[in-house]
Structures are given as C-alpha cells and as structure tokens.
Amino acid sequence: MSVELTLLTRVCHRGVEIGGSRLGDLLALLAGEPAGCGAARLIAELWPAEQPEHPAKALQTLVARARARLGAESIVSTPTGYRLALGPERVDASAVLLRAAASERHARAGEHAAALAEAEAGLALFGGEAADGPLGELRAAREATRRELVRARALALARLGRPDAGAIEEVLADRPRDEEVLLELLRGEAATQGPAAALARYDAYRRALRDELGADPGPALRAVHRELLLSDAPMVRQGLRHEPNELLGRDADVAAVGALLRTRRVVSVVGAGGLGKTRLAQAVGRRAGHRLVYLIELAGVSRDAEVLGTVAAALGVPEAAGVSGLAAALEPGPALLVLDNCEQVIDGVAGLVRDLVGLAGGLTVLTTSRAPLGLSAETVYPLPELDLPTTVALFTQRARAARPGAELPPDAVRDLCRRLDGLPLAVELAAARIRIMSPAEIAGRFSLHQGGSRDLPERHRTLHAVIDWSWHLLDADGQAAMRALSIFPGGFTADTVRQVLGDDAVVGQLADQSLVKVVDSPAGTRFRMLETVREFSAARRDEAGGTEAATERFLAWARALGVRERSDYAAALVFAAEEIRAEQDNLVLALRLGLDRGDGATVAAAGALLGALWLTDSNLGRLTSLAGDVPEVLARFRPGPAYVEATRTTAVWCAMTAFITRGPRPLRALAVLRRLPRPEPGTLIGAAQAVLGADDPRVLADSADPLLAGLAWYAFSYRAENANDSESALLAARRMLARVAGLDPWLRALAHARIGELCLQAAPGEEAFRHLDTALSIMEELGAWSSAARARWAIVLADLQRGALDRAEQGLEHLSRGVLTEEAGTMMFDLCSRAEIRLGRGDVDGGLRLWRQAADGLRTDEGLWAGEVLAVAVIVHCRHGRSGPIADIAGLVIRRLRAALPDAPVAVFRIHGVMLVAAAAFAQARGFTAEAGRLVAVAGRFGFSGTFPSVPIAAEAAREAGGPAYPAAVAEYAGLEPAALRAAAIRLLGRISPEEQAGP
C-alpha cells in the first residue's frame, strides 16, 4: 500500500510539498468525498467569506493548478463537479481508513501480528499540525480513526505479549468503559506487577460501574477476574475428577487428612472396601495446597513389578528412568502424589514410596488401601464409617435420585440404614432397590443375605451381603455377564458387551441394580463397574472356573478391536484417538496378557492401537516400553492375513521409537518388517516401513510419492541430528514440509514441529515460533491435546529466545492451570523458563534463585536434560558475576562431563557442548581466561544447543576473554575426529579441577 498524496501531516505529493492553503483545501475536500464533490459545495467551502467574480472559472483554474502538481489524470470531472482519480490506498486520508479496517479484521481472526502491523502503518500517516478550513476539518474528522488505531495497536501489543501500558492508559482515558482494553491492562498488570495490582484495578472499576450505572462488568472481564483469583493456585491437577454428587459426612475426614499432609511425608487412608476411600482421596487432592498434585489409580495393576511403570507412565517419565526419574519429575515441590487402591500391590507401592520420599524432598504421598504400607515414615488414618444421620442423608439422596416420588418413612429408613454399617457403597446399592421396593422391604430382604463369611470383619460382611444381595437379584444371564465383564479394568461399551456376550440387553439390568455405572466420555457412552463390585464378580468367576474362558473372550475382543476396519493404522493417530484412549486400560491389560502368553496376534493388535495413541500423545515413556517388550514376541509370530497390517504397524512403532529416542535397538523390529508381505502403496505405515528399512533414507527422498519422500526426509532429519549435523537436519525437515504440504494435516504438523524444534537450537527464535505456532494450530484442530501441550512448551522457549518475555509468561500461565499439561517432567522446564523471564526483566537475584532451585532438584539425575539444566545454571550465574553460590554445581558438571566423554556417542555431543560452555564460563569467572577460550573452542566443535539464550551469550564472552588462545585452539581442533575431539575435551577439563574452580 503506497501513499502518494498526504494531507494529514503536510500537503505534498510524492514527497514534494504543495504550497497554497486553498490548493490544500481543495485536495482535502476531494479526499473527504471519494465518490466526488459537487462544484457548488467546492466553491462554497473554498471561498466561504467572499466568492470570486467568476466562481466556476476560479474553481477550474484551481483544479488546473492541482492537476499540474499531481498529474493531468489525477483529478477527473464528474457531471456535477470533480473527483480524485487516485485509489484510496494512495491518499493518506483514505489509507488510514483502510488500515483501521484491516487491523480490525485481523484482530477478529486472531492474527494479532498482522493487526499490529496495520495499526502502526496507519498511525504513521498521522502527525500534522492543526489547520483551518477544509484541511483542518479533514484532519479533525480523521482524529477518530487515529484513536481507533491507537486502540488497535494497544490491543495487538497486549495480545502479542508486549503490552504498552502507556498506550492502554491513553485508550482508557478516552474510553473508560472499554472493557476489551481494560481486560488486557489487567493481564499486563498481573504479569508485571502481580495479581494483586490487577485485582485492585478490577475492584475499583467494578465499584465505579455499579455506582454510576448500576451494572456489573461483562462476562469476559469477569472471566479474567476469576483467572486472577486463581493465579496463585497449584500448577498441576492431574487425575482428579469432578464429584458426581455431594460428598456427605466426610468434611471432618477431609480436613483431618489434609492437616496430616501438611506435617507428614506419607499418609495412608486405610479401611474396608466400600468405605469411600477413593472419593475421600479425590476430595483431599482437589483441596490440597501443593503446587503439583497427581492422583494415580492402581486398581488395574495386579503385580508389584508393574507399579513403577504405571506411575512413570502417568507422570510422562520413561520407566527406564527409574525412581530417580520419577523423583526429578515431581520436583520442584511441594508435590502431592496420591496412589489409590494399593492393597493388591502393597509391597510394590511400599518400596516405591520409600525410595521416592528419600529422593524428593518436596514430595508428600497419600495412599488408599485396605492395609498400611508398613513404612516408618507412614501415618495411618483409619477411615471411619459414616454416622447414622449421614447414612440416612446419603440413602435419602440416592433414593430420590433413583425414584423421586418414592415414599421414605423416616423410621423405616433409619432402621434400614442401621443395617448398612455406615458403608457408602452399601448405601448406594441398597438405595438402588427403591425403584421396586420400600425401605422396609429392602431391610427385610437385606437381612436374608447378611450372613456372609464369618471370618470377615463385620463391615466386610455387610458389604459382601449388599453386593451378594444385588447379585442374587440378577438372573443367570446377568450373573454370567458380571463374571465375564469383570475382566475389563477400563469399563466397556454396549458394542463390547455384544461381542463378548452376543447381546447387550443385559446391560440395562446391571445398571438398574447399580452394579455398573453409566459414564459419558468423549468416545461415547461407557459402562464401568465399581471396583469392589468388580472384585466380587471376579471372585465368583474364579469360583465358577470361568477365568480362562473369560480371558480368551477378552483377548478376542482386543484382537477384533485391533484389526477392525484398519487398512492404515495411521488414521488412528487422529480420527480414532479418543476411542483408543477410552479403551487404553483394557488394551494395556490385553497387551500384558499377550506378552505373558506369547500371543503374537493379541500383541500385534493391541500394540498397533496403543502405539498410535501414545505417538499422538507424545508419550515417549510408554512408547519406549513398547519398543523394548514387543519385538521379541512378534519375531516368533507368523501372522495370517488378518493380522499382517497390525503386526506391521506395531513393528513400525517399535522401530521408529528406537530411532527417535535412541532407546532399544530396532534390529528385531526391522527383522519383523522384512519378513512381512510388501505393504499397500500410499499408506503412511507402508511408507514408514520403506524408510525404516533403507540404509540411507535419502535414496527415497526423490520418490514421486510425496508421502514416501516426506517421511524419508523426516527420518534423515533425525539421522543427521544424531550425527551432530544440525544444518542438514534442519534442511531435511524443510524438505519434508515441502513434500507433505498437500497431504494429511498430521504430517504437516509433524513437519512444522520438527522445523521449530530444530530452530530452537539457534536464537533468536522467530522462525521457531512461526513453525511451532502453525503446528500447534493443526494439533488443536485435530484434538491432539498432548502433542499440542508439548508444542506450547516449545513456543515458550521460542518466546524466550526472541525476547517476548510477557508472552512466554502467559504461555506458562496457560499451561500451569492444568490446560493440556500431561507430564510432570515439564515442571522443571517451567521453573527454568520462569528463571529466564526474571533475568530478562532485570530480577537477577530472583532468576538465579530459581536456577539454583532447578539445579538442586536435578543433582541426582544423570540424564541428558539434567546435564543441560545444571550447565545452564552455572552459565547464568557466571554471566552475572555470581559464580560462588554455584561452585559445587560447576564441579559436578565438570566431573560428570569427564566421566561421560570417553564413551559419549556423537548423538549427544550438543548437550555435552553446553556443559563445555558451562566449564568455560566458570573458568572465565575464576580468571582462567585462556582455558575458557580453549574450552569454548572445543565446545564449538561439539556443537551446543542455544535453547536457553544465556548459552550462546556465555560462549561469545568466553571467546572474547580467551584472547589469542581461542583462535589457536580453533585451528588445533578443526580437523579432529570424534575420538580425538573427546580426548582433547577431557584433557582441557583436567586442567580446571573442581577444587581449583571452587577456590577463593
């Protein structure tokens, strides 16, 4: 948009000033009427006091002068007067209107950078002095547009994370009731001055609004107010559910357990089945003041050895990371880990809890079980029965829900409730009978079943009696259904019931008896058994000798689900993800049983679906376990036609995971793939197999099939990165994007995310931001929420790199409220990011304190991520002249690096490069400038990630401090092979022992 005629600042055409006020007024009148201005009006406006003797002639003369200055075709005659022939974009008085409209249009579309550009371009056209006559009137008329552009700019800056408080205040002074602008001011104040300042401004606005108009703030502003009130809430709430109804009679227990958690490391809520331990744990978790709260249900875990893997998967940590990995994921605290239903794996839980509380100082553990863990650190809270008034209230509530018009005589209800021993589950089951019986009849029938096993405690006998009573109300088909379906730990659908039993009519009977619960999920309606009921039914199944047959039907269901209408399992990456997620617990059990039995068909079917889900969710921990466990079984499996694609898909997931994570060797998985028939052309899994089987993926990169070529470049990107060739890795990712541009949106998201991930290694992060933001948009459109969360974390890094500190903080706040947050390991990243934000804002003490906190939480973690965090903590302290407080961490970094380098693969050189930069920064801080120069020279050969902005800055400082030692070292190390390079780095580190570096 190129402006030729300017009137709002000064009157000129193509930069040449046009003299004469009357000529300026003429152009102003024509610019103000793009459709044309009549001669009569022109004459009246141009000669308001006294018209010339021949007004028409005078006007023609003035127009001729204007044409001489602007060009003969610039002003055209109309039937009644004249019109500017210049397009609106070429006249500033019209261009500002176009800019304002475009800015508003981009803002509505969420394109805030474009909205900002339009607003600033429009504002740049203003700035002229006040004038008289038509020119002054035109400038005054455009003042409203200028204010609109000021508002648009202020909003765009705020929404881009760069709020301009002065601009926002200017807008509010002009429009004190503009809540859209006030909303952004509140967010900006919360980010820069803290929530208290923003809450005070909101409160003042609300009072003024009520006093003046008797009204309340609008819904958007009220929503921001709620966000501000919650801004200090704990960062993570995972595994907690909303209550289906009021939790009666447990306020004192919730408060008591909560009080114990404030002073004890391990608290176990112990009691019989059916007492409500799970609901109590949920309520305690929701009210806990810990920064991190994770509730993990262990009801479906049957072996002590599986406890660690289950907890690791829930926290998003690879099982191979062990207890130390879990401890690191739960730092920085305070963290609350709730382990529910531990009784069947009590030894496995006890061992894990004992180790975790020893490693994670900020961790508190709450368990629910029928027996204590037996740990010295444990405090046991025996959960009491409900008292009689609460039992009556609960029965009345549930009975009214079952039959609103039922008669509930108080005496009969109290008599019944005395028999239920204060067990909430017994009350729930008894209340379900109100549909067909009165309270007195329920009490009479209940007494017939109250015998139970005499060796059970009284409360257990009561619960057994209630479930047994409900069981005997079922016909033979209903009981058979309960026995068969109790093997499903994750519930089931009506379709599943039809497959397992041949008919789903029985589900209604089970629901009527409250033996199964109806649950709405994103995948549709499901049915779940209460855990105690499932145990009871499983025991009846064992007594009837039906466990093996039920297991076979269960595995047949899993195999059928795995091969149903799936010619290309990659479609499950998106379109069936919710269905697979709903069945995840069932499929995990099927996979485990298949592995135990060497059942290749079941392993292939369950692995194909679970691998698709875990890839969608970026659950590398579970994918790594899959890649380690499954190939051995598949290597012995000879699939029939029905299972070929499932086997191919599972083997592809395993091989791909091994390549990406540098985890289990992919040889077995590749051997499985080589034995299978050729895949159908045009499928993602088939293309992936071809790429995985190629010695060099680039041989497929020129394929006419864009899918095959795109995946080839994707694979080569990882291969190049593992070879420490980041430039080739990034180039390959760009070529992948070019080849998959018109294909599946998930592939485009992968390509954009890969480019963004690689760009993060080099500041300033603008390109990384663009690609990651595009990937995020696609992932959210597809509902891939876990992958979207990872993209959001990466975008925070990109914002840090490009100096968008406010936007980075907003991203962290968005994630910290639990939105899309799936793994605890990212919490350490959150702490590091907040440290960088504080440093960027000049809060050096606060930023360094957070970096030390992050480093302290990872002292015992020997993983690559821990090494990078420790190194960056050293670097930022040295940058700010504070090497003393971090001397012990610097020594730890140097010792770890010397120990790791002899066997370090090239694939991890970039992390070790960061650690070498840390050693250089610490050497420089202690006055060993020549050694610093040599260390940063060898670090340059290793390569180092610029993920955190302080790293390249510290490297440059060490180069300058090194003086002539740096270029000499660069020349010395230039031609070294990896082995020689490792040896050179070890020699350099040996010259700066931790003792020397920690000196005075």
Question: Which tokens is 824 given?
Answer: 């605890």
Sheet holding 37-38, edge to edge: 37-38, 81-84, 75-77
- Asked whether residue 408 falls in the same domain as residue 367, the answer is no
- Residues 801 and 764 sit within 8 Å (Cβ to Cβ): yes
- Listed residues 431, 449, 472: the one ending a domain: 472
Asked, for residue 218, whether it belongs to a domain, the answer is no
3-class DSSP state for residue 378?
A: strand
Check residue 662 and give its pLDDT.
62
Asked, for residue 99, whether it belongs to a domain, the answer is yes
The count of C-alpha atoms lying within 13 angstroms of the C-alpha of 622, restricted to the half-sphere facing its C-beta, is 26
Q: Calculate Rg over the CA atoms of the chain.
A: 35
- Asked whether residue 936 falls in the same domain as residue 976, the answer is yes
The count of C-alpha atoms lying within 13 angstroms of the C-alpha of 531, restricted to the half-sphere facing its C-beta, is 19
- Asked whether residue 366 falls in the same domain as residue 436, the answer is no
- Asked whether residue 900 falls in the same domain as residue 946, the answer is yes
pLDDT tens-digit map of 796-824? 889 888 888 888 888 887 776 543 334 43
- Asked whether residue 19 falls in the same domain as residue 138, the answer is yes
From 374, 383, 349, select the one nearest 257 (Cα to Cα): 383
- Asked whether residue 454 falls in the same domain as residue 377, the answer is no
Q: Which helix (H) or strand (E) holds 805?
A: helix 805-816
- Asked whether residue 275 falls in the same domain as residue 392, the answer is no
- Residues 724 and 732 sit within 8 Å (Cβ to Cβ): no
Please state, in angstroms and rounded to a whole number, the distance separating the CA atoms of residues 623 and 659: 12
From 933, 972, 973, select the one nearest 956 (Cα to Cα): 933
Residues spanned by the domain of 421: 388-472
- Please identify which residue in the block is written with the tokens 């009165």: 438
- Asked whether residue 863 falls in the same domain as residue 965, the answer is yes
Asked, for residue 523, whether it belongs to a domain, the answer is no
pLDDT tens-digit map of 525-580? 888 887 677 878 888 999 999 999 999 999 999 999 988 755 556 555 555 677 88
φ, ψ of residue 99 in degrees (nearest 5)? -65, -40
Cα torsion 488, 493, 497, 502: sign = negative
- Residues 39 and 82 sit within 8 Å (Cβ to Cβ): yes
Percent of the chain with pLDDT over 70: 90
- Residues 33 and 78 sit within 8 Å (Cβ to Cβ): no
Asked, for residue 372, whether it belongs to a domain, the answer is yes
pTM here?
Answer: 0.58
- DSSP 8-state assignment for residue 90: G
Please state, in angstroms and rounded to a whole number, the distance separating the CA atoms of residues 365 and 30: 77
- DSSP 8-state assignment for residue 515: S
CATH classification at residue 307: 3.40.50.300
- Asked whether residue 13 falls in the same domain as residue 139, the answer is yes
Asked, for residue 490, whether it belongs to a domain, the answer is no
CATH classification at residue 99: 1.10.10.10
The count of C-alpha atoms lying within 13 angstroms of the C-alpha of 134, restricted to the half-sphere facing its C-beta, is 25
Query: Which residues are within 8 A (CB) of 612 and not within 5 positions of it... i.e. 6 or more apart?
Result: 569, 570, 572, 573, 576, 577, 580, 649, 653
Cα torsion 44, 45, 50, 53: sign = negative
- Asked whether residue 938 falls in the same domain as residue 992, the answer is yes
Asked, for residue 796, whether it belongs to a domain, the answer is no
- Given a cut of 70, the residues of the chain with pLDDT beneath it are 1, 110, 161, 191, 194, 226-235, 332-333, 444-463, 465-466, 469, 512-514, 531, 565-576, 661-664, 762-764, 783-786, 816-828, 993-1000
- Asked whether residue 423 falls in the same domain as residue 314, the answer is no
- Number of domains the chain is built from: 4
- Residues 961 and 930 sit within 8 Å (Cβ to Cβ): no
- Asked whether residue 394 falls in the same domain as residue 410, the answer is yes
Please state, in angstroms and rounded to a whole number, the distance separating the CA atoms of residues 594 and 587: 10
Asked, for residue 852, whether it belongs to a domain, the answer is yes
- Listed residues 446, 472, 498: the one ending a domain: 472
Query: Which residues are within 8 A (CB) of 499 and not within 5 positions of it... i.e. 6 or more apart?
Result: 556, 557, 560
- Residues 711 and 687 sit within 8 Å (Cβ to Cβ): yes
- Listed residues 347, 382, 417: the one ending a domain: 382
Asked, for residue 558, whether it belongs to a domain, the answer is no
